[in-house]
Amino acid sequence: RIADSLAEFEQAFPQAEAEALAAFGDGGLYMEKVIGKARHIEVQVLADGSDAIHCYERECSLQRRRQKVWEEAPSRALSDRLREDLCASAVALAKAVKYSGAGTVEYLYDDEADRFYFIEMNTRIQVEHPVTEAITGIDLVAEMLRIAGGEKLRIRQGDVSVKGHAIEVRLNAEDPAKEFAPFPGQVAELRIPGGPGVRFDSMLYQGYQVPPFYDSLLAKLIVHAETREAAIVRLIRALNELKIGGLKTTKPLFLALAADPAVRAGDVHTRWLEGWLIENAATLAG
């Protein structure tokens, strides 16, 4: 529950307490600050149990039902000072728990307050790790496997730098015109985009039967360019080149987002996309 005043808090607290007690046998509650227009920013770390480094941040603010659909790196919202503080925080956490492997420390960033808040740490490789690989040139999966095999971290923090901008979009077997209903079926035709700065991670092949039982993710399309603006242009070109025949996918969503002025300006937050989808339902249906 969200309380905007003391009166709302006093009314909501006993209601939430009773619900928690009935559902979980424990009426204990905690309070946290509401950030109305939060950005989701996460830091990639590599650690070997004693040492740790960061590979800079990713922004994943474009979300639908709290699920990421568009990820990019680096975040254009952060100042150099805040980026340094954020990444140092993630490294300190990894060292404090003697973390080993690849991991992601996730935060909410409040634009208005210019502050970040810890959410959680995902102790695994993330779906969106390719954007970090693109801007740093580090094979995160290979480094994770080396550490798992007992090797010490071989990359020093001073060796990690950012080059350009990368964007990843998640192509799902869903129909954007019908509230993203699942769309299983057979891949009748497959044309994969290529060229400099384009990566396509997928298990798809022509004739593949997409089942109705699992996650709808079909592929990840990743683009990398010297600037964010150039990366968006490259994304549009790659999406237009991509063809997955026989299925409805989220490709139209990303073409529309890539053309949107707010997305191009980076003026988004974690609740932005759901409002945009309501306003642009007719565009996606068309």
φ and ψ of 154, to 5 deg:
-105, -5
Closest CA to 26 of 17, 35, 34, 36: 17
Spell out the long-range contacts of 177-184 with Cβ–Cβ below 8 A and sequence spacing 24 or more: 177/248, 177/252, 177/284, 177/285, 177/286, 180/64, 180/250, 182/212, 182/216, 183/210, 183/216, 183/247, 183/248, 183/249, 184/209, 184/210, 184/211, 184/212
124, 154, 191, 264: which is the annotated catalytic residue?
124
- Residue 199 annotated among the catalytic residues of the structure: no
CA 139 to chain centre: 18
CB 265 within 8 A of CB 215: no
How many alpha carbons lie under 13 Å from residue 121 in its C-beta half-sphere?
19
CA-CA distance, 129 to 109, in Å (whole number)? 20
Closest CA to 56 of 160, 168, 158: 160
User: Residue 204 CB: number of other CB atoms within 10 A?
Assistant: 17
Q: Enter the tokens of residue 44.
A: 């990639």
Supply the DSSP symbol for 29: -
Which residues are registered as beta bridge partners of 167? 72, 223
Q: Enter the tokens of residue 236.
A: 């549009």
Which residues are registered as beta bridge partners of 57? 43
Please report which helix (H) or strand (E) contains residue 52, including its range. strand 52-64
> Catalytic amino acids?
124
